[in-house]
Amino acid sequence: MSIRIAAVVGARPEFVQVGTLARAFPAYTGRIDPILIHTGQHYDANMSQDFFDRLGLPRPDHTLGVGSGGQGVQTGQMLALLDPLLQELEPDVVIVFGDTNSTLAGALAAAKLHIPVAHVESGLRSFNLRMPEEVNRRLTDHMASILFCPSPNAVANLASEGITDGIHLTGDVMFESLQHTLALVGDGRTVLDSFGLVPGSYALATVHRSENTDDPERLSQIVLGLADVGADGLEVIFPVHPRTRQRLDRGLAASGVRMIDPVGHPEAMALARDAAVVLTDSGGLQKETYWLGTPCVTMRDETEWVETVEAGWNRLAGADRNAILQATRFMTAGNLPERVALYGEGTKVSHAILDALIEDLERMEKAS
């Protein structure tokens, strides 16, 4: 039995995750027939094309070209384009990743056509329904029939919402992707030299969550906090997300922070690996810094990746100028505990996901 898998992706974390699965596809030749659908949610060259060109991702079989737009408009456009495409392709399963608008649109389009939905990175919860990502992941989990969880906490979150069937505790495919990416940049000296940086002498900052970029007060507090870190003696390197750049151009830019254009994923990982600390509101980067052995300050009020906080390598600072500075000082004081393996670190999560996917679909076929 060859299973036709339609993978719907549209944003950076999904490119990374599907790329890891794609590198495992050759081991399943004859058993799966993968189809890659790119919604176009991320269309900036450094956020989309760079991943396909440099990380060895397969070219999308179908590109929807949705582009930017409000949450509802963007999701609606994806649905309008995915519905006829999925009817034409007739996949056995639609697999989605994470918590973006592409995730929700892929799951909803499939569910309405009675196509099984598989969700990678299932069960994560921030418990903040003001976050569009929280809405996306919750709805997706309740439409999915096959759910791949990165941690026991994720499994428990699903159980608390009455979801107990079709769950697989696999770990997170991002660790495998990180190892692949680090092999591309080697020791990272070329990356650091291009910015005139010395390992351990700088902080890396990223800000892109709409809860921060769309709120002038939160964004102002974050930028002032980053400036305080710079004034405290630790240079802040800030690759500016396009959404954030629009807001900063209105006068929120801070002196003492070196704002640079977005960098490719390999460069970002090299910068994160050699930073003294990473300050971010990203979800994926919280995990990556943990695996890299770099302390993290999360500029949000909560996190889905609670294990990194419990392990002592991540500290929540919210969007508070003073808390950002104090958390940075604490995380760079040299008192970090020993790291423990999290999220399937060191295992072949990609194979665990594909094995479970095939097994579940074959069982569904026999039961139908």
To the query of whether residue 208 is one of the catalytic residues in this protein, the response is yes
Beta strand pairing call for 235-239 and 257-260: parallel
Buried b (16+ CB within 10 A) or exposed e, 152-190: ebbbebbeeeebeebbbbbbbbbbbbbebbbeebeebee
Beta strands (DSSP E) in 153-308 are 167-169, 202-206, 235-239, 257-260, 277-280, 296-298
Beta strand pairing call for 93-97 and 257-260: unpaired
Length of the chain counted residue by residue: 368
DSSP string, 101-131: HHHHHHHHHHHHTT--EEEETTT-----TTS
258 and 235 Cβ atoms separated by less than 8 Å = yes
Question: Which position among 38, 208, 241, 265 bears the catalytic label?
Answer: 208
Tell me the C-alpha distance between 110 and 104, whole Å.
Answer: 10
Q: φ, ψ for residue 200 (rounded to 5)?
A: 80, 0
Which residues, listed in sequence order, are joined to residue 215 by a DSSP beta bridge?
A: none
What the block records as the tokens of 137 is 């992941």
Distance of CA 357 to the CA centre of its chain: 21
Tell me the C-alpha distance between 98 and 120, whole Å.
Answer: 6
Going by the DSSP 8-state scheme, the letter that residue 299 receives in this structure is -
Pick from 298, 3, 290: which is nearest to 150 by CA? Answer: 290
Residues belonging to the active site: 208
